[in-house]
Each structure stands twice: as C-alpha cells, then as structure tokens.
C-alpha cells in the first residue's frame, strides 16, 4: 500500500511540475543488459592485476604449555613441581601486501607479534621464509622481507588515501579463515574513524566489504588497482563479518614502509611537543564555538617544535596544511604523515582570532633512553622500562614535561603483568627510595624485600601500591 502511494505521488508531481523527460527518468522501469559488453562488466581485470601482490602470512611461536594448577601452592606442596613443562607451537594466520619488487611485504603487527618463525605464501602457492624488518605497534603495521630470493615480485602502488570519498567502490583481498585468497567488494562507508581503539593513530577507513579473521594485513584496493589501505580489524559480535571493517589508510602505510626501506628499526615521525585534548560540548560553549571540533592545546614542552612555532596553552588547532582538524586523533594522523625535514602550516584559534603558525617537521630527541628488561624476582619481573625522553613521552602519550622511569612493555608471562602494571606507568619510588633512572629501578628490584611499597603515576594520577614479596 505504501509503495503504491509513493508511485502515485511521483506521477502527480511529475504532471504538475516537471518536464516529460525528467518524469520518464524517475519512473522508468529497470531493464536487462542490452549488449554483450554490458553482460561482461566485471571487476576481474582489477583483481587479476592486483592478486599476485597479495600474500598469505603464517607466523609461529613456541609457548610453554603451563598447567594452571602449578600456580596453587597447596598443589605444588603435595604433588611436587614437575620439570620443564612441554612447549607447544602456536600459529597465527594473516595476509600481507607486496610493496617492493625486491620482496618487501607489509602486514599487521598483531599477525606476527612474538613470532619465532614467519613464512609468506604467494598467490601461486610458492612459500618463502621471511624476516621481520620493522615492527610498529603504534600503527599495528609490520614490514617483512622474503629470504633467499633475487626475484622481482609484483607490487601494489599506493593510492593517496586523502583523496578517497565515502561511496567509492573498493575491493578487499586476503585469506579469511585460511580458506585461500578471497576477494570481496563494497564501498567506503566512512572516513577518519577516530573512536575505534585499535592503534595509537585513530584515523581509519571504514568499509562494508566483507572482512573476516585472516584478512588482517590484506589489501583494500580502489578501482584503479592501487592500495587504499591495509585491512586491520572488524566490528563483530559473532566473529564474522557484519559489514563494519576498518583499514589503515595508505598514507600512513607509506610512512612505515619508507622507514623500513631506509634501514631504520623504528618509524621516524614528526614530533610536535604538545599534548592535545578533545573539545567537549562544555568546552565549546566556554570558548564560544558553534561546534565542538578541533584540538585544544593542554601542554607545550619547552624547546619543542610547538614552542618554537609559538603554539600556546589553550590554543585551538583547527587545520593543518589546509585540512580541517575535528579532534586530536585527526591531528595526530595528519601530522604523523607529513614528511620530515620541511614544515607544516597550522591554523589556530586564539582568543577568537585566527593565527597561522609554521611548525618544523623534525623527530623527537631520544637521548639517554637506557631501556632495559627487569629480570630479578620482584613485582617488576618481565617489565621493560626506559628513562623518559621526548621520544618516549611522545610514543606513550605522556605529558611533554614528564620525567622519570616508565614502563614501555610487559612480558605476557611476567610478574609485572600479572600484578597489574600497565604500559605507560611512571615509577616514582620503591620502598621510599626515589626512582629517577632505570638503573635505580634495576637496583631496587634486586633487594629481595618481602614487602614492596611502590609509588607510580598512571593517567596523570599518583597511586600508592603495597605488594607482598
């Protein structure tokens, strides 16, 4: 009934207000293809061109098959502690994209994280051992290189992901559930998704092209056959595709690959030297803004590029190089994808007036990091810690002026992870002894005391913790 009424309304409207040709365009019937050429319209030419550059990635690591009963002291007392527990091979499966003819492959970091062995299988079923050239947990990207080969491989060129539009048709290629290389198609559902919570740089392409487990690290390609992004995650309640997948934009992938090609073990990015915060509706009302958008400057480090450019506390960043900034995540992405060595133009609202600033694009100083892993029997066993340098503060999103010793990583099977330490915790004191350097914490962890009184900072708040030895 509703459908009939709708068509009747269109017919009346056409009679009264529109030309006959326009009415015919709105009410014309669907038609079958009128030629052999129309019948053969297909994505096959694009797929055939890009498929050889998409690979399968197999990662394996040995893990100790630990019986949880061994954690029970009563069980150990009555049954004794057996010798070394048997090890088990743990495998993971993902996809990757060949980005250099010499055998350079980009994939997701979570696909190969902790792997002892990595293999890459090409579309033609050939397999190669691969070495990990670079890992970047901040973007969840990793770069591999095929071993023992001098062959020239098919590659994908990078698209300019800033030119993508919602509604553009894209293809997702990968190895879902290990069934073999699979192609799905859809559109770009959204751009600049910043509330996904997967990586440090929250600026994802959202697509409804079917992406499933095993697609991680695979290619999202545009209709010219160029790499638009690296598929990295799905939103799902069932574990399968529900039409909401996320890809890392090609412009970010390009930065990571360039660092790997230059021989670096870490990705080099521009450093701003300022902490930014989101503009809430309440802040927007206070500042007299029509919309709660932009990135508000909450802290500026002395002698940083931001300080030298003249950026000040409470400045509102609204654009970088002419591209609008909706929130701090958008700024972080835009700034991180700028090439080092030049400068960026930042548009700022200051006291209701527009100000233009020029910020130098340079890396953060990383002197005196002195990063170590604590191995002594203590609550810190298994924690990787470092002295806070500007580079460390930038990586862990700490206040620009933060000082001391910070937890940069935690071993899954370490004591530090089990007692609740987190990445980014700043250790201030242990048993009333001030901790200013990693050597201080290393020494404190070897004291063998029965009670540990620890003072730390987490999320800007000081916490006092007491643990048994």
Rounded to 10 degrees, the C-alpha dihedral 248/249/250/253 comes to -40
Give, in order, the Cα–Cα distances in Å from 110 to each of 107, 135, 232, 414. 9, 10, 9, 20
**Among all chains, which residue has been given the structure tokens 């910020």?**
359
Tokens for 14, please give them. 């056409």
Q: Return left, alpha or beta for 288; rule: phi > 0 is left, psi -120 to 50 is alpha, else beta.
A: left
The residues, any chain, with a CB within 8 Å of residue 386's CB and separated by 6 or more, are 369, 370, 371, 372, 392, 405, 406, 408, 438
Residue whose C-alpha is closest to residue 94's, from 77, 80, 107? 107
Q: Which of 136, 140, 208, 332 is catalytic?
A: 140
Verify whether residue 216 is a known catalytic residue: yes
Would the CA dihedral through 227, 295, 392, 378 be positive or negative? negative
**Which ranges constitute the DSSP H helices of 396-469?**
415-419, 438-445
Q: Which of 92, 110, 189, 208 is catalytic?
A: 110
Q: Assign 3-class secondary structure to 87-101.
A: EEEEEEEEEEEEEEC
CA–CA–CA angle 360, 362, 364 (5° rounding)? 125
Number of alpha carbons in the 13 Å side-chain half-sphere of residue 69:
9
Q: Which of 121, 216, 241, 304 is catalytic?
A: 216
SS3 172: strand
In angstroms, rounded to a whole number, what is the distance separating the alpha carbons of residues 186 and 31? 23
In angstroms, rounded to a whole number, what is the distance separating the alpha carbons of residues 452 and 444? 10
174 forms bridges with which residues in the sheet? 182
Verify whether residue 161 is a known catalytic residue: no
- Please, is 151 exposed, middle or buried when counting C-beta atoms within 10 Å of its C-beta (0-12, 13-18, 19+)? exposed
457 forms bridges with which residues in the sheet? 426, 462
Number of H helices, E strands in the chain: 13, 25
Verify whether residue 304 is a known catalytic residue: no
Would the CA dihedral through 274, 275, 279, 282 be positive or negative? negative
In angstroms, rounded to a whole number, what is the distance separating the alpha carbons of residues 318 and 315? 9
Backbone φ, ψ for residue 286 (5° rounding): -65, -40
- End-to-end CA distance of the chain: give it in Å, rounded: 76
Give, in order, the Cα–Cα distances in Å from 230 to each of 132, 156, 392. 18, 12, 26
Residues involved in catalysis: 110, 140, 216
């Amino acid at each position: 009934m509703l459908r009939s009424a709708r068509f009747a309304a269109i017919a009346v409207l056409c009679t009264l207000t529109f030309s006959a040709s326009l009415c015919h365009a709105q009410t014309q019937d669907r038609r079958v293809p009128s030629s052999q050429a129309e019948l053969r319209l297909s994505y096959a030419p694009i797929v055939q061109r890009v498929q050889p550059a998409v690979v399968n990635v197999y990662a394996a690591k040995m893990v100790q098959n630990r019986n949880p009963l061994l954690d029970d002291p009563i069980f150990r007392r009555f049954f004794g502690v057996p010798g070394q527990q048997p090890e088990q091979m743990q495998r993971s499966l993902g996809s990757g994209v060949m980005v250099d003819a010499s055998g350079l492959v980009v994939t997701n970091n979570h696909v190969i994280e902790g792997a002892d062995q990595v293999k890459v299988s090409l579309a033609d079923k050939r397999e190669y051992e691969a070495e990990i050239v670079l890992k970047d947990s901040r973007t969840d990207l990793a770069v591999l290189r095929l071993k023992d080969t001098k062959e020239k491989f098919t590659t994908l060129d990078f698209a300019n992901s800033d030119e993508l539009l919602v509604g553009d048709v894209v293809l997702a290629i990968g190895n879902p559930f290990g069934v073999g290389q699979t192609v799905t198609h859809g559109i770009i559902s959204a751009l600049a998704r910043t509330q996904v919570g997967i990586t440090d740089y929250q600026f994802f392409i959202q697509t409804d092209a079917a992406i499933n487990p095993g697609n991680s690290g695979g290619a999202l390609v545009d209709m010219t056959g160029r790499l638009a992004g690296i598929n990295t995650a799905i939103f799902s309640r069932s574990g399968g595709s529900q039409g909401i997948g996320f890809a890392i934009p090609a412009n970010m992938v390009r930065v990571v690959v360039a660092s790997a090609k230059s021989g670096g073990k870490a990705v080099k990015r521009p450093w701003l030297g300022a902490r930014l915060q989101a503009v809430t509706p309440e802040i927007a009302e206070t500042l007299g803004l029509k919309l709660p958008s932009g990135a508000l400057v909450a802290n500026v480090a002395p002698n940083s590029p931001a300080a030298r450019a003249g950026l000040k506390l409470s400045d509102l960043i609204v654009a970088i190089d002419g591209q609008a900034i909706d929130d701090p995540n958008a700024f972080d992405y835009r700034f991180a994808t700028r090439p080092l060595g030049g400068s960026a133009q930042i548009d700022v609202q200051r006291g209701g007036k527009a100000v233009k600033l020029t910020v130098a694009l340079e890396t953060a100083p990383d002197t005196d990091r002195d990063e170590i892993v604590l191995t002594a029997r203590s609550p810190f066993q298994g924690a990787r810690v470092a002295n806070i340098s500007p580079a460390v503060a930038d990586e862990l999103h700490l206040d620009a002026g933060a000082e001391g010793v910070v937890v940069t990583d935690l071993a899954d099977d370490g004591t530090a992870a089990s007692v609740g330490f987190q990445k980014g915790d700043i250790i201030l004191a242990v048993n009333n002894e001030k901790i200013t350097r990693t050597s201080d914490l290393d020494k404190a962890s070897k004291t063998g005391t029965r009670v540990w009184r620890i003072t730390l900072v987490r999320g800007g708040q000081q916490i006092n913790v007491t643990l048994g030895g």
